[in-house]
Structure 1
Amino acid sequence: MPTPSAPPSVSSDTSARSALRRARFTIVLGAYNGEKWLADQLASYKAQTDTAWDLWVSDDGSTDATRDIIRAFAAEVGPDHAVRLIRGPGQGFATNFLSALCHPEFPAGPVALSDQDDVWHPGKLAHARAGLGTGGPVTIYGGLLRMTDAGLQPIGRSHPPKRPPGFGNALVQNVVSGNSLVLSPGALALVRRVGVPAGVPYHDWWLYQLVSGAGGSVVIDPRIVVDYRQHGQNTMGAHRGFAATLERAMQVLGRDYGSWIATNIAALQAAENELTRRNRARLRALTAVPVRPGLARMRAFARAGIYRQTRLTTLALYIAAALGRV
């Protein structure tokens, strides 16, 4: 069974766990010109062993048959599974997901995020329900991935984080894959209180930051729960092996990474009231020192307890801080 990354600072609530056992999942599918891939993903919803789910689809301006496919699926599953199709804001995949979560009519309860081109394993929702139950009322769950080619032939897999998830990691790295990510009802309520932050580059990274920053639980399931299709059009591709680790280390030294960190920190500052006292202090320690070359910035990272999952990429991060890149 999956275990929380650390004892949550938000106390466990027996009634919340009881409600979780009875709750229906809302699957949020972010869609954009997905007609080539949707059939497999939609079929995997129907194959779930946990059948208590409904579906919201936020279509971000598709010009193909995506919307027609969703309407046909709604008719196919009938009254057993409510299907809601909404129009996305047309501002990219991250805002598409976050705006759906913050839609004024979005239902309370646990939420499972879904990409359009993957295939869920039959036990995904059941494992997520169990995993959420091991954390506190505010919990984010993620599972592992089997990478496949475009024809769904296996070509690799992901692995659990080497170091415990937490806010010090979330500030500079995401370890909760968006296509396996599930929010507890309390985590969804947190997201809705904060609203849609401006310009955050990745919705899953932001959700990891927000939940861990608020003292919630981060549960990483050691089981593979999703087939992650690699077809050359993915927003984010898979990263495997030493070469990928080296590539990530070089990415940390690049300009885009520093821009992502700055945008995320600005969003966290706007949501500071939702963070724990300790994490507010860590954020302030990091932001008190300007982004400019020198050891002061690197020391600020150390005081805030910032780390990535490997020694190489953590070293690259601290070098980037000393160079004034982050």
Structure 2
Amino acid sequence: MPAEYPRIAVLLAAYNGMLWIEEQITSILSQAGVDVTVFISVDPSSDDTESWCKNYAVRHSQVVVLPMVGSFGGASGNFFRLIRDVPLDSYDFVAFADQDDIWFQNKLSRAVSAIQIHQVDAYSSNVTAFWPDGRHHLLNKAQPQVSWDYVFEAAGPGCTYVMSRTLAADFKESISTNWRYLQGITLHDWYCYAFARRNGYRWFIDPEPSMSYRQHENNQVGANKGLRSLIARYKIIHDGWWFKQVQLICRLLGLESDPFISSWLNLRRSELLRLSFSAWKCRRRVRDKFFFFCICWLTALNGGGKQE
């Protein structure tokens, strides 16, 4: 009898992806030891991405293109649409995919094994970032999880996420219920990790990279590497976006009444100063704990965070 492999639904959000999408889908369909179906949702594009995907799906039964439903304005809304609209009941696992990466052949089989061995509900991993000039760099996101990291950061790039059927079903129901409010969430991977941890699901972050993470000028969120990246991230935080996302995530997840969250959620000056001394339980990496401490102080000294 032929081997019965785990069935995995891969959810791929596409937008103006003609330069890279074929190489990416080829790497997904080449996954070893799993039974893969790729579901693609295309944000209206100017480079014929939708037509190419439809033609590709005609020739490959493992690829399904969802009907166009208008513009999402970013990857987050597109991924939420995929979770909401794709029928997931017959799949053992659900994975996210970007349009421009290259997956290692054992990416999904390694994720499934890790979920089973560690008895967890979700998986993510490190990645190897690569640039057009040939540079490569390991992005390490596998530091030990801490009590509140999920409120302030993702579990690494969302394109490495693999969820169990149970978690995916729970996440799907939550997305349908909170659809209108989720339109304010900018990063689906951050919210997915927060939802899982908030609801008691266990998450494993693999220190081994599972894919080549392409870097180019159109990345919505790229590799957090170097001084320029650090300055760019500080500017985003200083402009109020990051703390606004933190507030929205906390409210969507019903965390307002938690004593720790409520002690700083209004982002007043005194609250931010108090929060800064909890940096050790808010970010995973030592460098990020220090950066978090500094951001809290700088934001407080500038009059506090932006409130909703």
TM band (smaller chain): 0.7 to 0.9
Does residue 1:98 correspond to 2:76, yes or no? no
Provide closer, same or farther for how the CA distance between residues 148 and 295 of structure 1 changes in structure 2, counting only shifts above 3 A. same
The aligned amino acid for 1:168 is W
CA distance in 1: counterparts of 2:69 and 2:98, whole angstroms: 14
**Residue matched to 1:70:** 53
**Residue matched to 1:236:** 221
**Residue matched to 2:274:** 299
Deviation for aligned residue 1:244: 4.3
Provide closer, same or farther for how the CA distance between residues 88 and 202 of structure 1 changes in structure 2, counting only shifts above 3 A. farther
Does residue 1:43 correspond to 2:7, yes or no? no
Q: Deviations over 1:215-252 (max 9, x none)?
A: 11111111111111111011111112466456545654
Provide closer, same or farther for how the CA distance between residues 219 and 290 of structure 1 changes in structure 2, counting only shifts above 3 A. closer
Does residue 1:159 correspond to 2:140, yes or no? yes
The aligned amino acid for 2:215 is Q
CA distance in 2: counterparts of 1:135 and 1:194, whole angstroms: 26
SS across alignment from 1:102: helix
**Could you tell me the percent identity over the aligned residues?**
21
CA distance in 2: counterparts of 1:201 and 1:267, whole angstroms: 13
Q: Deviations over 1:139-164 (max 9, x none)?
A: 2211111111237x3421211333x2
SS across alignment from 1:161: coil
RMSD: 2.8
Q: 1:86 aligns with which of 67, 86, 90?
A: 67
Aligned length: 291
**Residue matched to 1:184:** 164
Q: 1:220 aligns with which of 183, 205, 209?
A: 205
**Residue matched to 1:285:** 260
- What is the TM-score when the length of structure 1 is the normalising length? 0.79
Q: Deviations over 1:268-303 (max 9, x none)?
A: 22xx6xxxxxxx764x53235562543344436767
Q: 1:61 aligns with which of 19, 30, 44?
A: 44
- Structure 2's unaligned 5+ residue stretches are none
Whether contact under 8 Å (2:126, 2:142) holds in the other structure is no
Provide closer, same or farther for how the CA distance between residues 298 and 190 of structure 1 changes in structure 2, counting only shifts above 3 A. farther
CA distance in 2: counterparts of 1:112 and 1:169, whole angstroms: 22
Whether contact under 8 Å (2:276, 2:292) holds in the other structure is no
CA distance in 1: counterparts of 2:167 and 2:243, whole angstroms: 27
The aligned amino acid for 2:197 is S
Provide closer, same or farther for how the CA distance between residues 110 and 32 of structure 1 changes in structure 2, counting only shifts above 3 A. same
Q: 2:124 aligns with which of 139, 142, 146?
A: 142
SS across alignment from 2:13: strand
Q: Deviations over 1:183-210 (max 9, x none)?
A: 1111101201211323111000000100
Provide closer, same or farther for how the CA distance between residues 300 and 154 of structure 1 changes in structure 2, counting only shifts above 3 A. closer
Deviation for aligned residue 1:321: 6.3
SS across alignment from 2:19: coil
Does residue 1:173 correspond to 2:153, yes or no? yes
Whether contact under 8 Å (2:277, 2:293) holds in the other structure is no
SS across alignment from 1:165: coil
**Residue matched to 1:4:** none
Deviation for aligned residue 1:63: 3.1
Whether contact under 8 Å (1:252, 1:313) holds in the other structure is no
CA distance in 2: counterparts of 1:292 and 1:35, whole angstroms: 42
Whether contact under 8 Å (1:298, 1:321) holds in the other structure is no
Does residue 1:315 correspond to 2:293, yes or no? yes
The aligned amino acid for 2:196 is V
- What is the TM-score when the length of structure 2 is the normalising length? 0.83
- Structure 1's unaligned 5+ residue stretches are 1-20, 273-279
SS across alignment from 1:134: helix
SS across alignment from 2:305: coil
Deviates more, 1:287-296 or 1:109-118: 287-296
The aligned amino acid for 1:63 is S
Provide closer, same or farther for how the CA distance between residues 287 and 89 of structure 1 changes in structure 2, counting only shifts above 3 A. farther
The aligned amino acid for 2:83 is L
**Residue matched to 2:189:** 204
CA distance in 1: counterparts of 2:19 and 2:198, whole angstroms: 38
